[in-house]
Structure 1
Amino acid sequence: MKAEIDLNESYRLLHPRPVVLICSVGSEGRVNVMACSWITPISDEPPLIAISLWLKGYTHKLIDEIGEFTVNIPSVNLLKQVWIAGTKSGGKIDKVKLLNLTFTQAKAVKPPVIESSIGVLECRVKNKIIINEQALYIAEVVKAYAEEELFRNKVWSMEANVLHHAGGRIFTTIKYIKA
């Protein structure tokens, strides 16, 4: 028998989802990192993704200023940093200092990339749609790269341990099943 799910929690039926670290930078140069699992590809020609961000969030403010961001794909090794980035507000504290991560210059956009991430998408905003309290950013991927020993034959290897968020403090990694 199926139980009714509170409609305000119905999105959780779509979890676990990959969790990424979004890096943004403001016009004054301050970098912020945010954990995000509300992300999806929407086109491959041209390569477009969509991310949904809270309108009152600091990341939203910075992306609006510059129009660019990086998507950093973490492995399970960055679980602590993902948790901090997802539970603290960059508008209130400097998360970069708290996260103890090393950043490097992106190849095509202003926001930096996280050196220890296993994959990166560098993105430029093409459109923004306001939906209730959320901003849905449509962004073009202008550069993409991954650790070659972990991303083979167009898929992540099991050794990549790509992090997925199930809800709350619960995370998981993937297990492949062939059809």
Structure 2
Amino acid sequence: MLNELPAEKAYRVLESGPIVMVSTRGTDGRVNLMTMGFHMMMQHEPPLVGAIIGPWDYSHRALSDTGECVLAVPTVDLAETVVDIGNCSGDALDKFAHFGLTPASAQTVEAPLVRECWANLECRVADDGWTRRYNLWVLEVQRVWIDTARKETRLVHHQGDGRFSVDGDTLDLGERMVRWRYLMD
């Protein structure tokens, strides 16, 4: 039996990518973090990520002014912190200090890495042509940092409406990816 969901709930089916935190540093030097679930890989070379960051997000101004950010990828041990970060605004508090997170220097952007995260992607805006109409930023990944010493590597995936799933077993079908082998290590 098929049950219908309202069309505006499409994200509950399609948006299962890992939750990320967007780190920015404004032209005034102030750093901020926001939680983001709406993002997507757009292409491999150059590596482009589409990210929805609208004017309702405090980070929008810093991204608009500087054209750069860090996408920090937290693991399941940070899930509650990530949700709490998404429930408050950077205009009211220093989220790094309030949530006990450590900003670390990036190499190609001024926005800080988040030391407690498993991965950090330094990004620059590649195309802001869709921001006014769709709040969609096209970000080009400049560098990727992975904390190989972390024991916890399970990612948290947004399913909408406060529901999340956590990485489980990995199904490795790399040997069958013959057409895309050049993308594999």
TM score, norm. by length of structure 2: 0.84
C-alpha deviation, 1:169, in angstroms? 3.1
Counterpart residue number, 2:176: none
| Aligned residue-pair number | 171
Q: CA RMSD in A?
A: 1.9
Counterpart residue number, 1:144: 144
Amino acid at match of 2:145: Y
Is residue 178 of structure 2 the alignment partner of residue 177 of structure 1?
no
- Cα deviations by residue, 1:13-60 (Å, 9 ceiling, x for unpaired): 114321011101110011110111111111111111110112222111
Counterpart residue number, 2:106: 106
Select the structure that is richer in strand: 1
Take 1:88 and 1:42, find their aligned partners in 2: how far apart are those partners? 29
Runs of 4+ in 1 over 3 A off after TM superposition: none
Counterpart residue number, 1:130: 131
Take 1:108 and 1:130, find their aligned partners in 2: how far apart are those partners? 23
The partner residue of 2:153 within 160, 170, 174 is 160
Amino acid at match of 1:72: A
Take 1:116 and 1:17, find their aligned partners in 2: how far apart are those partners? 19
C-alpha deviation, 1:131, in angstroms? 5.8
Question: Computing the radius of gyration over CA atoms, which structure comes out larger, 1 or 2?
Answer: 2
Amino acid at match of 1:167: G
Runs of 5+ consecutive residues of structure 2 not aligned to the other structure: 174-185
- Sequence identity, in percent? 28
Distance change in 2, residues 1:104/1:149 (3 Å): closer
TM score, norm. by length of structure 1: 0.86
Take 2:51 and 2:2, find their aligned partners in 1: how far apart are those partners? 30
* Deviates further, 169-178 or 111-120: 169-178
Counterpart residue number, 1:33: 33
Take 2:99 and 2:152, find their aligned partners in 1: how far apart are those partners? 24
Runs of 5+ consecutive residues of structure 1 not aligned to the other structure: 151-157
SS in structure 2 of the partner of residue 165 of structure 1 = strand
Is residue 66 of structure 2 the alignment partner of residue 72 of structure 1?
no
- Cα deviations by residue, 1:140-164 (Å, 9 ceiling, x for unpaired): 11111212367xxxxxxx9511121
